[in-house]
């Protein structure tokens, strides 16, 4: 964070537009680059559904919070899926967690 960002944050102002530009660009390029390798939006939707079907066999997913997107770094595009788990099919209730899926000890 730069001095400028800090001041903006303290004053509750919008961040500089270069950040917005960078984020929008990265998103649109991720889609463009996938388009070029002939992975169309249709295919991506299909893939998203199939991934969810497979995962749903084993754990109950919070469908409201599911996010499947493409992220790009150094011209490499990655499929990033965030699938929050409500509980396992066997009935073990767990915390809704986004990142730490091994967190089995915590029970509601």
Q: Which positions touch another protein (CB under 8 A)?
A: 1-4, 6-7, 16-19, 21-22, 24-26, 28-29, 32-33, 36, 74-75
Tokens of 56: 């749903």
Which residue lies nearer to another protein by CB, 41 or 98? 41
Which residue lies nearer to another protein by CB, 28 or 81? 28
Q: How far is the CB of 100 from another protein (least distance, A)?
A: 25
Does residue 48 contact residue 61 with C-beta atoms inside 8 Å?
no
Three-state SS at 4: helix
Which residue lies nearer to another protein by CB, 4 or 49? 4
DSSP state of 89: T
């Amino acid at each position: 964070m730069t001095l400028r960002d800090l001041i903006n944050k303290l004053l509750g102002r919008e961040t500089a537009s270069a950040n917005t530009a960078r984020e929008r660009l990265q998103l649109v390029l991720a889609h463009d680059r996938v388009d070029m390798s002939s992975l169309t939006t249709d295919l991506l939707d299909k893939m998203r559904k199939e991934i969810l079907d497979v995962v749903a066999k084993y754990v109950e997913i919070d469908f409201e919070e599911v996010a499947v997107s493409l992220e790009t770094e150094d011209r490499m595009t990655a499929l990033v899926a965030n699938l929050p788990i409500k509980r396992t099919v066997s009935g073990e209730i767990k915390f809704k967690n986004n990142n730490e899926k091994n967190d089995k000890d915590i029970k509601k």
